[in-house]
Amino acid sequence: MRGGAGRAPGPRWGGRGSRYRRERAGPSAVPQRCPPGPVRAAPRPRYGRGVGPGPRPLRCPTRARPAHCAGAIPAPAPRAGAGREARVPLKVRPAAGPVLRARRAASAVGAARLGVTPGLCPGTRDGAMVATGAYALGWRLWLLMVAVHWAAGARPCSPKYFGLNAMVCVCNATYCDTLDPVVLPALGTYVKYESSKAGKRLERSEGSFQRSLRAPDLVLTVDTAQRYQEVKGFGGSLTDAAAINILSLPETAQDHLLRSYFSKEGLEYNLIRLPMASCDFSLHAYTYDDVPFDYELKHFSLRDEDTKLKIPLLHRVLAMSKRPLSLYASPWTSPTWMKTSESFVGKGTLKGQAGDKYHKTWANYFVRFLDEYAKHNLTFWAVTAENEPSAGLINNYPFQCLGFTAEQQRDFIARDLGPALNNSSHRGIRLIILDDNRLHLPHWAKVVLEDEEAARYVHGIGIHWYLDFIGPIQDTVVPTHELFPDYFILATEACIGAHFWERDVILGCWERGNQYSHSILMNLNHFVSGWTDWNLALDLEGGPNWVKNYVDSPIIVDSSEGIFYKQPMFYHMGHFSKFIPEGSQRVGLVASKESKKTDLEYTAFLRPDGAVVVVVLNRSPQNITFGLADSVGLIAAVAPASSIQTYLWQRQ
């Protein structure tokens, strides 16, 4: 679940959701920056062709097109009965042929190149003046672009707009944008990948270092003498909902989606988090042993969600990934017969106390889970002791949870979970504590890791991002690292749409990509070793979710059309995951004294192959000129407004 308190009433330290608070609080006063185009407040149609979640942009009427329609975003009418209750599976239309696809893309590409607002009403005066020329030129430009990119192996984005600058890249069974595998440039040169609100998506360019060049006021200098944490990696979570959405697509579209995340032509994720049984992003609540008082776990068995959905997808991912994949699992709840509440939801902890039959059985449940997945040739790198243990301490918590205080988790690890894992065939597995909002640090880490018995079984600390705004990283993560430098810190869950003031899904929202990159940069620059997104893929509503705790995702699936949308968040993730492989080490990146204050956010890493990676984020509305300096020379660079760049070069 994304964050410690799904949308639940109670203390603010709950993590993800707040639909309950949203309904009580009424309309939020917090402005939504995406999409920026004109909208009308109308009930949200959740399904129907071309209808995205949230308030719909004004549509151009079929016949009469009044003046206010100029520049509006056209949208097909919702399908009859397309409200929230109309969830009967829809027939998937045959995928558009290459000519039709090219035509659709051409109109958008041509309009973008001409500076015309995509989706301009063709029947308006302005639309009539530019439609023919934009379409014809766009068609030629698109064909030329495709020819150039395909010759190099990459395929360009097929864009679709849901508002001004609210662009997604559309994939279906026959087409999906791809990237070239990363190849180190020659000495003295660099490659740059850029994405922007203006429409670039990991666009590659090359350049050369300069020796005699007047340096700009702001110069970022790589200092490899300053060495910090090593990187574990980047990835996302394969929930029941994500698996259902992926498998709802035609098989070739499924492959495109998986390859977009895990292959060399995609983002090259190397981390996958799996819920251990159900979570809120399931169709119903369940565990692997719901037979009461089965202390020997004789009835423990994986469910169809594992054997028919997640496990087959994991095997496909393993087959296409060139990087080693690290799987880690997190439980949301124990079987109800082990809990004080005897319920999947609401406030409740394990019955009894550490060392008793309930705690021993729950510890053995972890081992059985690992055993069963091992039978399917799947080995886990790590487990977390519990997803958001603080959630189970909240009254009326709305979905699966299991409460632990820091002291209870310490004792459970020392007396039950640690020994159970250590005495099993999985003794090399990593154990991660907390897996909750960083607000609990450094207290939680001190309670667990200052106990020698518990600490010897622990390897790392997991953090969620949902309450970062009231738990500054300098007051939580930094002192934790200083106290316990030998334990890695990993960001284990994040998503947008979880707070009551946020809309669930906003297609094409660049600002949400900015939020991802800002968080990743902040974490990497403060000793965090990696960053894991929440659901790999959700539907247009932001689900399915059995308690309607909907959120956004980097990939949104429209199964009725057999397509999926790659959101700006997807490409922001790629600026890190594709270029900073496991084993990279953060190094110093020092700003020149003349310009310490800048709107740029940045980080630098030394890869295992000796190359340097620098990521630069510009969330401001202005272009920013800067320089990148290393022993090989100087790069004169510009970070366009609302953009993110990744630079890569060899040092020797």
> What is the SS3 string spanning 151-171?
HHCCECCCEEECCCCCEEEEE
Encode pLDDT of 542-591 as tens digits.
999 999 999 999 999 999 999 999 999 999 999 999 999 999 999 999 99
Classify residue 375 by burial, with Cβ atoms within 10 Å: 0-12, 13-18, 19+.
exposed
The C-alpha angle 146, 92, 539, rounded to 5 degrees, equals 85
Collapsing DSSP to helix, strand or coil, 107 comes out as helix
- Give pLDDT < 50 ranges for the chain: 1-14, 17-32, 36-136, 138-139, 142-143, 145-152
What single DSSP character describes residue 116? P
* pTM for the predicted model, two decimal places: 0.81
Cα–Cα nearest to 116, from 55, 70, 171:
70
Of the candidates 194, 386, 388, 502, the residue annotated as catalytic is: 388
Closest CA to 473 of 531, 560, 415: 531
CB-count exposure of residue 535 (10 Å: 0-12, 13-18, 19+): buried
Is residue 493 annotated as a catalytic residue, yes or no?
A: yes
Cβ count within 10 A of residue 290: 14
Structure tokens at 419: 């020994």
The whole-angstrom separation of Cα 539 and Cα 148 is 33
Does 450 qualify as catalytic in the annotation?
A: no
CA dihedral 304, 310, 312, 313 (to 10 degrees): 150
d(CA 49, CA 538): 16
Decide if 349 contacts 404 (C-beta within 8 A): yes
Annotated active-site residue in 493, 541, 561, 601: 493
Polymer length of the chain: 652
Q: Among 643, 565, 648, which residue's Cα sits nearest to residue 201?
A: 643
pLDDT of 119 reads 35
Round to whole Å and give the CA distance between 548 and 61.
Answer: 33
CA–CA gap between residue 236 and residue 252 (Å, rounded): 21
How high is the pLDDT of residue 101?
43
Contacts of 44 (CB under 8 A, 6+ apart): 53, 54, 55, 56
What is residue 4's predicted lDDT score, i.e. its pLDDT? 40
Q: Residue 421 gets which letter from DSSP? A: H
- Mutual angle of helices 473-483 and 510-524, in 10-degree steps: 30
Q: Return the DSSP state at 119.
A: T
Predicted pLDDT of residue 48? 33
Check residue 595 and give its pLDDT. 61
